[in-house]
């Protein structure tokens, strides 16, 4: 499939890869949307619990990205260069290392759950509900973690349709199981907020298992019993580690913002953040990330095939698509924020805070889209180290800015959200400069020479 795609014009390849990737990520966002939709019936405390744990999900995703980014880059490189053994080695390293990795990480997270929840600024009933929810998320981490790794394997092979189909199946299971386990429908026990977490782990685990079966049947990539090639694992982790550090850094910084700024603003602001971020902006972000993921696949495979000009054209096509999607989100966030929020909340104060969040972050949706495509382009080329350092520096700016804007300038919650906008704008400018400095698409650059390892 990848060779057929490689012969397509760049814009056509980008479109063919981007629309399934976009739908796949939108379906993944439906996990959080589903939780946010059903949990509104449990009250504002439950909504606030989801709001404060949102960034623990992102923190966890950093540990998933550690493996999934390297999986995509290595498999895309092997596919583009026609080196079948490299593809087999990359997939074997992904699952053989990944499954025990997520088991260990999940157990450690479960032990640390109370501490992590308190670090997010939760207390009282919000703290109790957050612990009940995120504790189960850690217990089902192997199923949650392997789904993005399997998706990355397909993306690296140039197949974005299969992850979309698997996501559709998984979301269907999740949407059915979530209320059944939360409210005790039929034969299921009533588990409250923990039921949403169990539904997420079960549905993603089923999807990951079926995805592995598909790799074995259609790509002859079975789960072979052989010794792990630790050299391949190290190369994959070297690519993924900076991206993982960036994702974890984003979460840690936002957790610090929650503790130092959002907690003082009260439960309604926490709940409004949960509605705006989990229920609505998650859809926008996943929509614009679809073309960005397509860019990573195109760049990795075209550089692997020795076609840097084609890689650049593919990146530009994906950038245009991502900007178009984010433009739609911008318009909706400006025009109808309260109407959007009303699908996830009933209390007027929570609706007000969610609408405020959406109106403020509307200003930087297109900036986020451009930044996402540039970052995924560098990830597809394996150049992630300096990008990660840049991300961390810009994320760190949010902690003092949020406090200054919210309290020193007395802007309240809007000041916290404007600190996100300002840091995003600074980050995009720096990312453009970094892209020019890395010169990924230089005609003289050998196919991925030096780009499939960290750019120290």
- pLDDT mean by block of 10 residues, the chain; 456 residues: 53 82 76 77 82 83 89 86 89 94 96 92 88 95 94 90 90 92 92 94 95 95 88 90 86 88 89 86 87 87 84 91 94 95 88 96 96 91 86 94 96 96 96 89 52 42
Give the tokens for residue 341.
Answer: 């929020």
Cβ atoms 403, 347 nearer than 8 A: no
Alpha-carbon span 22 to 20, nearest angstrom? 5
Residue 120, pLDDT score:
83
- Taking CA atoms, 95 is separated from 54, 132, 231, in Å, by 26, 29, 15
Residues 6+ apart with CB under 8 A from 140: 106, 197, 198, 200, 201, 202, 204, 205
Residue 345, pLDDT score:
82
Alpha-carbon span 109 to 117, nearest angstrom? 11
Q: What three-state secondary structure class fits 239?
A: helix
Residue 83, pLDDT score:
86
pLDDT digits (tens, 9 = 90+) for 203-247: 999 999 999 999 999 999 998 888 888 999 999 998 888 888 888
Alpha-carbon span 26 to 290, nearest angstrom? 8
Phi, psi of 450 (to 5 degrees): 80, -5
Alpha-carbon span 349 to 231, nearest angstrom? 54
Alpha-carbon span 57 to 59, nearest angstrom? 5
Residue 379, pLDDT score:
85
Q: Report long-range pairs for 223-232 (Cβ below 8 Å, ≥24 apart).
A: 223/92, 223/95, 223/96, 224/92, 226/92, 228/92, 228/93, 228/96, 228/97, 229/89, 229/92, 229/93, 232/74, 232/89, 232/90, 232/92, 232/93
Alpha-carbon span 145 to 241, nearest angstrom? 16
**Which single residue is written with the structure tokens 């910084």?**
253
pLDDT digits (tens, 9 = 90+) for 399-418: 999 999 999 999 999 999 99
């Amino acid at each position: 499939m990848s060779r057929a795609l490689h012969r397509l014009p760049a814009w056509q390849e980008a479109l063919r890869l981007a629309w399934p990737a976009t739908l796949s990520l939108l379906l993944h966002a439906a996990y959080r949307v589903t939780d946010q939709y059903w949990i509104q019936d449990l009250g504002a405390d439950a909504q606030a619990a989801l709001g404060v744990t949102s960034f623990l999900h992102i923190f966890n995703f950093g540990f998933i990205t550690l493996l999934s980014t390297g999986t995509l880059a290595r498999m895309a490189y092997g596919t583009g260069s026609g080196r079948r053994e490299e593809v087999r080695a990359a997939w074997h390293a992904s699952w053989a290392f990944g499954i025990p990795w997520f088991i260990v990480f999940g157990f450690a997270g479960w032990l640390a759950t109370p501490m992590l929840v308190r670090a997010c600024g939760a207390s009282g009933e919000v703290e109790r509900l957050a612990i009940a929810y995120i504790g189960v998320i850690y217990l089902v981490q192997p199923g949650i973690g392997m789904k993005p790794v399997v998706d990355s394997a397909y993306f690296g092979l140039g197949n974005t349709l299969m992850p979309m189909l698997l996501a559709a199946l998984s979301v269907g299971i999740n949407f059915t199981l979530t209320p059944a386990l939360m409210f005790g429908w039929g034969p299921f026990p009533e588990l409250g907020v923990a039921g949403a977490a169990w539904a997420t782990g079960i549905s993603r685990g089923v999807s990951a298992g079926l995805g592995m079966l598909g790799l074995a049947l259609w790509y002859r990539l079975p789960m072979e019993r052989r010794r792990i090639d630790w050299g391949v694992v190290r190369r994959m982790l070297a690519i993924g580690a900076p991206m993982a550090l960036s994702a974890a850094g984003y979460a840690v910084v936002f957790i610090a913002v929650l503790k130092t700024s959002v907690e003082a603003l009260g439960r309604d602001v926490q709940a409004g953040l949960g509605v705006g971020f989990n229920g609505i902006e998650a859809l926008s972000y996943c929509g614009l990330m679809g073309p960005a993921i397509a860019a990573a696949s195109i760049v990795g495979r075209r550089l692997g095939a020795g076609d840097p000009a084609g890689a650049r054209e593919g990146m530009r096509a994906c950038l245009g698509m991502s900007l178009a999607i984010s433009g739609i989100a911008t318009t909706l966030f400006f025009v109808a924020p309260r109407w959007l929020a009303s699908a996830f909340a009933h209390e007027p104060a929570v609706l007000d805070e969610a609408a405020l969040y959406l109106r403020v972050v509307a200003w930087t949706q297109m900036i986020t889209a451009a930044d996402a495509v540039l970052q995924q382009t560098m990830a597809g080329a394996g150049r992630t180290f300096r990008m990660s350092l840049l991300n961390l520096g810009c994320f760190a700016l949010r902690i003092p800015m949020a406090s200054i804007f919210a309290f020193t300038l007395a802007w309240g919650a809007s000041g916290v959200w404007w600190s996100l906008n300002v840091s995003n704008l600074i980050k995009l400018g720096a990312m453009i400069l970094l892209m020019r400095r890395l010169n990924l698409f230089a005609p003289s650059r050998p196919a991925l020479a030096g780009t499939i390892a960290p750019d120290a």
